[in-house]
């Protein structure tokens, strides 16, 4: 308060600010990369409702609870909800987007490995929220 010098504090604040600038710049760059959806990505319509997921492929075929995709092909999810809010999540591919009634949110990815991956709901949606699961099956 009185008399003593504050320069160590300002150096410290400077270090903190520069670390934050670095984190912010890195995050900005990665976000920019992952948000740039390729034009040829195949659209999959995703609908969440209490308490299951429905998927509609570009050719009109529908699936409930299971989603079959091909390896190496870019896909774009168009995610919405019918009754209350949900969140569409494939944790292994770091896909997460809220399913909001009356809105279409998008996320895109390229499956790079064949196998089965869990799909789950990450937004509280009532009684069976914990059990609102599905399976992503990636085929060769």
Q: Where does this chain bind other proteins (CB under 8 A)?
A: 1, 4, 6, 8-9, 12-13, 16-17, 19-20, 22-24, 26-36, 38, 50, 74, 83-85, 87, 89, 91-98, 100-106, 108-110, 112, 118, 120-131, 133
Q: How far is the CB of 47 from other proteins (least distance, A)?
A: 14
DSSP collapsed to 3 states, 97-124: EEECECCCEEEEECCCCCEEEEEEECCC
Q: CB of 6: closest distance to other proteins in angstroms?
A: 6
Nearer to other proteins, 40 or 61 (CB): 40
Q: Under a CB-based contact definition with an 8 Å cutoff, are residues 125 and 139 in contact?
A: no
Q: Are 50 and 126 in contact (CB under 8 A)?
A: yes
Alpha helices, DSSP H only, in 1-140?
Answer: 7-35
Q: How far apart are CA 121 and CA 73, in angstroms?
A: 24
To other proteins, the closest distance from the beta carbon of 18 in angstroms equals 11
Pick 41 or 63: Cβ nearer other proteins: 41
Closest to other proteins by CB, 64 or 124: 124
């Amino acid at each position: 308060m009185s008399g003593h010098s504050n320069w160590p504090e300002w150096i410290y604040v400077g270090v903190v600010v520069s670390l934050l600038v670095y984190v912010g710049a890195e995050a900005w760059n990665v976000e920019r990369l992952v948000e740039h959806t390729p034009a040829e990505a195949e659209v999959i319509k995703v609908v969440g409702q209490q308490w299951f997921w429905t998927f509609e492929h570009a050719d009109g075929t529908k699936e409930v609870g299971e989603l079959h995709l091909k390896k190496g092909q870019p896909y774009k999810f168009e995610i919405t909800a019918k009754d209350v809010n949900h969140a569409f999540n494939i944790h292994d591919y770091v896909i997460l987007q809220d399913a909001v009634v009356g809105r279409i949110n998008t996320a895109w990815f390229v499956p790079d490995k064949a196998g089965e991956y869990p799909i789950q709901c990450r937004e509280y949606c009532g009684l069976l929220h914990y059990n609102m699961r599905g399976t992503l099956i990636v085929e060769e």
